[in-house]
């Protein structure tokens, strides 16, 4: 399946429902480095579960349960019961196998500025990534998917499904929408309003993970990003290029999982300055995204060994 998310967007034979791309000019005021790094975090969505059980797909491939989200309203009816997952173990992650909705949370172990080989290793012909061990600067953090409710930015994102903290060392939130076609990034906001508020919108919304998801899928979104960062107006462009490039087994402190690995390349153009960031996410039925690895800026290698951040699921 090839999905193009710029201009008239198409997801193979189905429409993504993504608005036409709107060019809104370029950079006005310098973006803080901390914000640029946080924005890259949105490339991977962390799914939440009520109960985090390790799982595996047959023959190194296993998926998830309904989320209670009314896609027409963009808001959850209630937090889903992830333990009711009936994964089909077919190597395809469908909407009914993705537990993402407001009210869910899970704990991750974060490592920063860490050495890790993204290519993994071969174990009995199966590709394997081992993230069980302790890594540099490890710190456990709980990530919660929160409803917008009466948030100061709620009226700016009427179709949003939930928000999520983007980075461990920042309070910025990503605003997401989950539909039958996939998971989309709508924007980035600060938790509080005021003169130093941050509120940015992506036009069109960025497709982070198409649904259903299977190996060989590819997609892209070219988006204009406009709004305020710490109270200062900004406008720039981002290109997200995603693909499901591999499958195998991932070992985490929470257990072993059969996974689909997605690769996302972000190219951010701010005036004459261009920055690239590469991220790998590891997705499984019933648990969603259980780990991710983010490169340093302008990483030249497809498979790299030094990461700015590595996150994996813990019990």
Domain boundaries, the chain: 2-49+64-76+93-313
Confidence of residue 95 (pLDDT cuts 50, 70, 90): confident
Q: How many helices (H) and strands (E) does the chain have?
A: 1, 21
DSSP 84-145: G-----SSEE-GGG----TT-EEEEEEEEEEE--TT-EEETTEEEEE--S--TT-EEEEEE-
Least confident of 42-56, 107-121, 127-141, 275-289: 42-56
- Encode pLDDT of 7-19 as tens digits: 333 333 323 332 2
Q: Residue 293, class by beta-carbon neighbours within 10 Å (0-12 exposed, 13-18 middle, 19+ buried)?
A: buried
Average pLDDT over residues 296-315: 96
Inter-residue contact 77 to 178 (CB < 8 Å): no
Q: Residue 315, class by beta-carbon neighbours within 10 Å (0-12 exposed, 13-18 middle, 19+ buried)?
A: exposed
Inter-residue contact 265 to 276 (CB < 8 Å): yes
Whats the size of the chain, residue-wise? 315
Query: Torsion angle, CA of 204/236/158/76, rounded to 10 degrees?
Result: 80
Nearest C-alpha neighbor of 268 from the set 111, 118, 46, 43: 43
Per-residue CA distances from 311 to 99, 162, 169, 308 (Å): 18, 21, 13, 10
How far is 261 from 257, CA to CA, in rounded Å?
12
Confidence of residue 187 (pLDDT cuts 50, 70, 90): very high
HSE at residue 123, side-chain half, CA atoms within 13 A, is 14
Longest dimension (CA), the chain: 57
pLDDT of residue 181: 93
Inter-residue contact 186 to 160 (CB < 8 Å): yes
Tokens of residue 138, six digits: 């490890």
How far is 151 from 33, CA to CA, in rounded Å?
26
Confidence of residue 41 (pLDDT cuts 50, 70, 90): low
Q: What does pLDDT average to over the chain?
A: 79
pLDDT above 50 (res 282)? yes
Nearest C-alpha neighbor of 32 from the set 156, 171, 136, 140: 171
- Encode pLDDT of 137-177 as tens digits: 899 999 999 999 999 999 999 999 999 988 777 899 999 99
E strand or H helix at 41:
helix 33-41
- Encode pLDDT of 224-279 as tens digits: 999 999 999 999 999 999 999 999 999 999 999 999 999 999 999 999 999 999 99
pLDDT above 80 (res 73)? no
pLDDT above 50 (res 77)? no
Nearest C-alpha neighbor of 201 from the set 226, 231, 177: 226
């Amino acid at each position: 399946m090839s999905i193009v998310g710029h201009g008239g967007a198409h997801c193979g034979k189905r429409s993504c429902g993504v608005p036409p791309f709107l060019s809104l000019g370029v950079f006005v005021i310098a973006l803080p480095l901390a914000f640029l790094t946080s924005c890259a975090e949105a490339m991977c969505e962390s799914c939440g579960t009520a109960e985090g059980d390790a799982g595996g797909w047959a023959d190194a491939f296993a998926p998830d349960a309904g989320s209670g989200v009314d896609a027409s309203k963009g808001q959850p009816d209630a937090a889903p019961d992830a333990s009711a997952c009936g994964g089909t173990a077919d190597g395809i992650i469908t909407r009914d196998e993705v537990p993402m909705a407001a009210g869910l949370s899970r704990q991750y172990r974060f490592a920063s500025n860490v050495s890790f080989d993204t290519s993994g290793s071969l174990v009995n012909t199966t590709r394997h990534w081992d993230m069980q061990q302790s890594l540099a600067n490890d710190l456990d953090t709980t990530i919660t998917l929160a409803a917008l409710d009466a948030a100061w930015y709620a009226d700016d994102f009427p179709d949003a499904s939930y928000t999520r903290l983007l980075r461990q060392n920042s309070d910025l939130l990503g605003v997401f929408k989950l539909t039958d076609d996939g998971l989309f990034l709508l924007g980035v906001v600060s938790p509080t309003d005021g003169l130093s508020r941050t509120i940015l919108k992506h036009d069109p919304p960025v497709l982070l993970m198409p649904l259903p998801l299977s190996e060989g899928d590819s997609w892209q979104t070219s988006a204009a990003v406009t709004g305020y960062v710490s109270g200062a107006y900004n406008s720039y462009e981002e290109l997200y290029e995603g693909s499901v490039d591999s499958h195998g087994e991932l070992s985490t402190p929470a257990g072993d999982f059969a996974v689909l690995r997605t690769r996302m390349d972000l190219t951010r153009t701010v005036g004459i300055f261009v920055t690239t960031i590469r991220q790998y996410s590891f997705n499984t039925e019933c648990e969603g995204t259980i780990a991710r690895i983010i490169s340093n800026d302008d990483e030249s290698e497809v498979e790299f060994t030094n990461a700015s951040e590595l996150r994996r699921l813990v019990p």
